Amino acid sequence: MAGKGKNEGLSLWYRFWWKFRYMGYHIFGPAQLDGARDPQQRMRLKRAAKVEMARGARLAREAGQTT
């Protein structure tokens, strides 16, 4: 099984822009809201989904190479 990389399959530009927006919401965004309305929570959920897609694609590529 493939180990979890530090960049988790996401590009440098995506990781930079995500962190920039996340910090922007932290400093200038609204107060903490409930889960569905919290912009930081939505960002974390979208990133987790993107990481899972990248991980699945990487595992599929690795499985295709070994077969």
- The answer to whether residue 6 sits within a structural domain is no
Sequence-ordered alpha helix ranges (H) in the chain = 12-28, 39-66
Dist CA 40 CA 22 (whole Å): 6
In-domain check, residue 3: no
Tell me if 62 is assigned to some domain.
Answer: yes
53 found inside a domain: yes
pTM above 0.85, yes or no: no
For residue 26, tell me if it sits in a domain. Answer: yes
- 4 part of a folded domain: no
Q: What is the pLDDT of residue 51?
A: 92
- Structural domain harbouring 19: 12-66
Give the total number of structural domains in the chain. 1
- Give the pLDDT band of residue 62 (cuts 50, 70, 90): confident
Query: Is the Cβ–Cβ distance between 55 and 7 less than 8 Å?
Result: no
